């Protein structure tokens, strides 16, 4: 495929003609990356199995990983799910548009490839003017995982998408940096008790304040159905190690430097929302600078840091840190 064009848009007032062009690519079964309030998504017509198959090819994504379906408003949920229970309606009223994905029994119109063959579908209404304009003009629900190669860091800027997917997708809509910075909270409502599948910017406490108790323990089945729960995910190319506290950051940094390695460190700073907003952008940037190791201070074990801790733990999973390792 030729080089992928990047179309700049005003995030508050996107050019209608550009949105129409992007929507017509989607209608023609092509892939378009677009900004959301969390991270950039890689969109395809969710009702077109062949179009969604292209997402898996472009990302190198295993077919066992289901894709979230995006809608422009709550009314469109009927195109995506088979049921709309009271808890879902309450959550949507509080948190949509916003970074919350609800897993519900799927509408039979949603092809198998979207749900990875399962009977449930993840659905969310993003809080981003470009995303919602695109979905509305396309006139169909839009399947969209994060617009990165599988297992890698999610993109929070158009240039991250371009670096990962240039030549593999039809167009990229550039709406500037994403405000949220990490992926949506995923909540499974398909069983008797709501279950948190992925923590995110909508915290457990915020959800429980609206619908009461939520289960947090992943089931084995859930783990394979929701591969965002797999241990290594969201990872930079550079090996990343976690440190508890600034003293340990210092110690690891000295140890690694004594071994002749180039090391960059990230310390905890600011409030969780600000930290999350820039985390992936910083990791993308450090990745490009070719360090041998990244040492990242683990934020405190407090509920407000849960989503950031989750992503950092997955980014570090599998890094081998041994005294004599390269
Ligand atoms: O913020 C986000 O959620 C971004 C933007 C683009 O919306 N999307 C995103 O998609 O992060 P993705 O595919 O990178 O992650 C979706 C997560 C995965 O962990 C997937 O396994 C889970 O949601 N998921 C999707 N559908 C599911 C389902 N039916 N049952 C269980 N988990 C599901
Ligand atoms: Mg992803």
State pLDDT tens for residues 47-68: 999 999 999 999 999 999 999 9
Domains along the chain with CATH numbers: 6-211 (3.90.870.10), 240-316 (no CATH)
305 to each of 95, 177, 196, how far by Cα in Å? 19, 21, 15
Interval 155-183 mean pLDDT:
98
Q: What residues pack around ion ligand 2 (CB closer than 5 A)?
A: 146
Closest CA to 146 of 81, 60, 225: 60
Indicate which residue's Cα is closest to atom 13 of ligand 1.
Answer: 145
155 lines ligand 1 (CB under 6 A): no
Between 5-9, 223-227, 266-270, 284-288, the lowest mean confidence (pLDDT) is in 223-227
Q: What whole-number percentage of the chain has pLDDT above 90?
A: 90
pLDDT attached to residue 228: 58
Is 87 a residue whose pLDDT tops 90? yes
Could you tell me how far CA 32 lies from the centroid of its own chain? 16
- 163: Cβ–Cβ under 8 A, 6 or more apart, which residues? 284
Q: Which of 116, 122, 144 to mutate to test the pocket of ligand 1 (most atoms within 8 A of CB)?
A: 122
Closest CA to 175 of 154, 153, 160: 160
pLDDT attached to residue 231: 73
* 206-245 pLDDT, tens digit each: 999 999 999 997 655 555 556 656 677 788 999 999 999 9
Q: Which of 173, 228, 235, 307 to mutate to test the pocket of ligand 1 (most atoms within 8 A of CB)?
A: 228
121 lines ligand 1 (CB under 6 A): yes
Phi, psi (deg, nearest 5) at residue 71: -125, 160
Indicate which residue's Cα is closest to atom 29 of ligand 1.
Answer: 121
Vertex 116 angle, CA 110 and 118, to 5°: 75
* 137-155 pLDDT, tens digit each: 999 999 999 999 998 999 9
185 lines ligand 1 (CB under 6 A): no
**pLDDT confidence tier of residue 326, bands split at 50, 70 and 90:** very low
129-138 vs 16-27: helix crossing angle, rounded to 10: 50
H or E, element range at 43: strand 41-45
Interval 246-260 mean pLDDT:
96
Give buried/exposed letters for 109-136 (b at 16+ CB in 10 A, else e). ebbebbbbebebbbbbbbbbbbbbbbbe
C-alpha span between 235 and 117 (Å, rounded)? 26
C-alpha span between 11 and 28 (Å, rounded)? 24
Rounded to the nearest integer, the mean pLDDT of the chain is 94
Closest CA to 134 of 40, 55, 23: 23
Token pair belonging to 146:
């994060």
List, in sequence order, every beta strand (DSSP E) within 48-194: 69-70, 100-105, 120-124, 142-143, 171-174, 185-188
pLDDT attached to residue 229: 61
Is 284 a residue whose pLDDT tops 90? yes
66 lines ligand 1 (CB under 6 A): yes
Please give the number of the atom of ligand 1 that sits closest to the Cα of 180: 1
pLDDT attached to residue 234: 84
**56 or 322: which leads in pLDDT:** 56
For residue 167, the 8-state DSSP code is T
* 178-197 pLDDT, tens digit each: 999 999 999 999 999 999 99
Token pair belonging to 182:
């990490």
Indicate which residue's Cα is closest to atom 20 of ligand 1.
Answer: 226
C-alpha span between 287 and 276 (Å, rounded)? 17
Please give the number of the atom of ligand 1 that sits closest to the Cα of 115: 29
Largest CA distance in the chain: 59
Q: Which of 99, 178, 186 to mutate to test the pocket of ligand 1 (most atoms within 8 A of CB)?
A: 186
Token pair belonging to 272:
């969780």
Give buried/exposed letters for 29-43 (b at 16+ CB in 10 A, else e). bbbbbbbbbbbbbbb
Closest CA to 61 of 151, 1, 121: 151
**Is the separation of the CB atoms in 74 and 80 below 8 Å?**
no
H or E, element range at 258: helix 246-258
Q: How many CB atoms lie within 10 A of CB 106?
A: 24
């Amino acid at each position: 495929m030729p080089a992928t064009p990047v179309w700049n848009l005003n995030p508050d007032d996107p050019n209608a003609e550009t949105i129409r062009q992007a929507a017509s690519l989607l209608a023609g079964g092509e892939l378009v990356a677009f900004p959301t309030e969390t991270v950039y998504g890689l969109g395809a017509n969710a009702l077109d199995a062949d179009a969604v198959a292209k997402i898996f090819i472009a990302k190198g994504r295993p077919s066992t990983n289901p894709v979230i379906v995006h809608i422009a408003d709550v009314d469109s949920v009927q195109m995506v799910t088979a049921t709309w229970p009271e808890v879902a309606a309450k959550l949507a009223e509080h948190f949509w548009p916003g970074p919350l994905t609800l897993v519900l029994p799927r509408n039979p119109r949603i092809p198998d490839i979207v749900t990875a063959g399962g009977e449930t579908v993840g659905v969310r209404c993003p809080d981003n003017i470009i995303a919602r304009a695109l979905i509305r003009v396309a006139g169909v629900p839009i399947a969209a995982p994060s617009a990165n190669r599988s297992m890698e860091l999610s993109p929070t800027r158009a240039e991250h998408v371009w670096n990962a997917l240039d030549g593999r997708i039809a167009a990229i809509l550039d709406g500037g940096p994403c405000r949220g910075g990490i992926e949506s909270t995923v909540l499974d409502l398909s069983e008797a008790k709501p279950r948190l599948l992925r923590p995110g910017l909508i915290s457990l406490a915020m959800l429980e304040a609206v619908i009461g108790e939520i289960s947090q323990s992943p089931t084995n089945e859930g783990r394979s159905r929701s591969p965002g729960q797999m241990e290594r995910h969201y990872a930079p190319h550079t090996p990343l190690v976690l440190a508890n506290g600034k003293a340990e950051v210092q110690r690891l940094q000295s140890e690694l430097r004594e071994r002749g390695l180039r090391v960059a460190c990230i310390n905890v700073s600011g409030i969780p929302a600000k930290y999350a907003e820039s985390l992936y952008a910083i990791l993308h940037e450090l990745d490009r600078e070719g360090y041998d190791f990244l040492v990242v201070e683990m934020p405190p074990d407090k509920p407000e840091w849960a989503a950031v801790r989750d992503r950092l733990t997955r980014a570090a999973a599998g890094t081998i840190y041994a005294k004599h390792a390269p």
